[in-house]
Structure 1
Amino acid sequence: MSSLNVICPHCLKVNKIPQKDGYTKANCESCKNSLLDTTPIEADENNIDHILANSDIPVIVDFWAPWCGPCKMFAPIFNQTAQKYPLKALFVKVNTEALPNLGARFQIRSIPTLVVFKSGLEKKRNSGALDPLRLTSFINEFI
């Protein structure tokens, strides 16, 4: 049986788990919290490279800012959609107002911008908020 490297959403440790179609239980080897938690991770300059490089599942990054109206509208859609993908995709948020260097590094020109990374490489991006159906279609291309 093949395995996957997944990032714990609580402690950010890399966990090697067996690859399956679905999971009823999976806990972090380090902190013992559930790997099935789909709450988006707040990334920063200290952990973004670790997250992108060590996740075998697609990483969906929402670049946003607190003053952005469309970002505020999109946030609940992003969070609710994340719940559908435990151990299928990892959802990450980057506040470009607090972390302008990350916005510049990833060439974010407008927000919200979604970027899909797989095996540490950017695969696709979308600028602008998406409705739940379009977000699901966007993510499913990489599952």
Structure 2
Amino acid sequence: MQDTVKATCAVCGRTNRLPAARLSARPKCGACGAALADGTVAVLDLTTHDKATRSDEVALVVDYWAPWCGPCRMMAPEFARAAKAMAPRVRFAKIDTQDYPRVSQDLGIRGIPLLILWHKGKEVARLAGAHPAGEIEAFVRGTLATKT
């Protein structure tokens, strides 16, 4: 097992190296002091999204959504519940595909909401559509159990 893991700060974009055993101690970014694994859903811009999905060693679930999407808005509280339940071992974030259409093009996203699970710089799995927190958690746990 790794002694340290990398996690990108959603606020400033800085990559932080953290002791893996200390993830549950609510680590903060060494540059800006923002929480790194506190169970909240981070809002990503395109640069931070690209950096986190390529380099983070902590599992990251990203919700690809848009403000005009009714199912996306309905799922948001469920996504937040799943984030709180799975912290600090899994981090949750979202990116607005309307503001950043390139992300949809680059990833071949055809419909939203779409959850993509990233781990150690690779896309591990996708879950399309709106889902309750329990299903999101089961998707993440089941996928990580078979991939790690």
Q: Secondary structure at the match of 1:60?
A: strand
When structure 1 is superposed on structure 2, of 22-31 and 83-92 the one drifting more is 22-31
Spell out the pairing of 1:39-54 with structure 2 (5 A cutoff): 39-54=40-55
Question: Is the alpha carbon distance of 1:31 and 1:124 closer, same or farther for their aligned partners in structure 2, counting shifts above 3 Å?
Answer: same
Contact 2:64–2:115 under 8 Å retained in 1: yes
Question: Is the alpha carbon distance of 1:46 and 1:12 closer, same or farther for their aligned partners in structure 2, counting shifts above 3 Å?
Answer: closer
Counterparts of 2:140 and 2:9, CA distance in 1: 20
Counterparts of 1:22 and 1:93, CA distance in 2: 21
Spell out the pairing of 1:47-126 with structure 2 (5 A cutoff): 47-126=48-127
Structure with greater proportional helix content: 2
> Displacement, 1:125?
0.3
Contact 1:6–1:87 under 8 Å retained in 2: no
Let me know the Cα RMSD of the aligned residues. Answer: 1.9
Structure 2: runs of 5 or more not aligned? none
Contact 2:10–2:44 under 8 Å retained in 1: no
Superposition TM-score, scaled by structure 2 size: 0.85
How many residues end up aligned between the 2 structures? 143
Query: How many percent of aligned residue pairs carry the same amino acid?
Result: 29
Counterparts of 1:105 and 1:22, CA distance in 2: 31
Matching residue's letter, 2:43: E
Structure 1: runs of 5 or more not aligned? none
Matching residue's letter, 1:40: V
When structure 1 is superposed on structure 2, of 121-130 and 19-28 the one drifting more is 19-28
Counterparts of 1:136 and 1:19, CA distance in 2: 21
